[in-house]
Homo-oligomer: A and B are copies of this chain.
Amino acid sequence: MEAMENLTYDELQIGDSATYTRTLTEEELVLFAAVSGDVNPVHLDPQYASKTIFKERIAHGMWSGALISAALATIMPGPGTIYLEQSLSFKRPVRLNDTLQVRITVAAKEPKGRVVLDCEIVNQNDEVVVTGQAKVIAPSEKIKLERPSLPRISIGESS
């Protein structure tokens, strides 16, 4: 069982960074539509998407936001982090099978456990797709725990 270990406020130093990589699968496009209710056909319908300026299906912008939040919650600072603020600037579309690398970097340490992190996502061509900044309360105590396993999720035919 894989472990998740956090970085406390005291351990974090300005300039520290961490990365988190993820590839957009068709399954994730469908799940993100389901979990947000954003069923815009530019994400779901290849024929419709082909007639838009994007030419093909694209990711929900907030899927990229979700990857940033996952990096903050599971890697740096990790478990025990309290999310206060996030800004996101969507620079380029994300397409099916694109592999995104989230990089978060400690930009500032503020009083009361507050930490500001610069966030950048690049695709497999090293093009910046999202930039932003997060503010969190970093954990004060060390936490190490087992990474929970997720239930099996299966996707059927369109109803």
Contact = CB atoms under 8 A, between A and B. Distances in A.
A36 B63 CA distance: 7
Q: Indicate the member of A35, A45, A155, A159 with the most B CB atoms within 10 Å.
A: A35
Give the copy number: 2
B149 A158 contact: yes
A129 to B, nearest CB: 12
Contact of A66 (B20, B66, B147, B153): B66
Kindly list the 6 A-B residue pairs having the minimum CB-CB distance in the complex, ordered from nearest: A36-B66, A38-B70, A152-B156, A62-B69, A61-B83, A31-B35
A22 interface: yes
Interface stretch (A87-95, A107-115, A119-127): A87-95
- Chain A interface size range: 35 or more
A20 B145 CA distance: 36
A91 to B, nearest CB: 9
12 contacts: A31-B34, A35-B35, A37-B70, A38-B69, A38-B70, A38-B73, A38-B74, A84-B89, A85-B88, A148-B158, A150-B159, A151-B156
B153 A157 contact: no
A46 to B, nearest CB: 11
A87 B154 CA distance: 33
B147 A39 contact: yes
A37 B145 contact: no
A38 to B, nearest CB: 4
A33 B31 CA distance: 11
Nearest to A44: B148
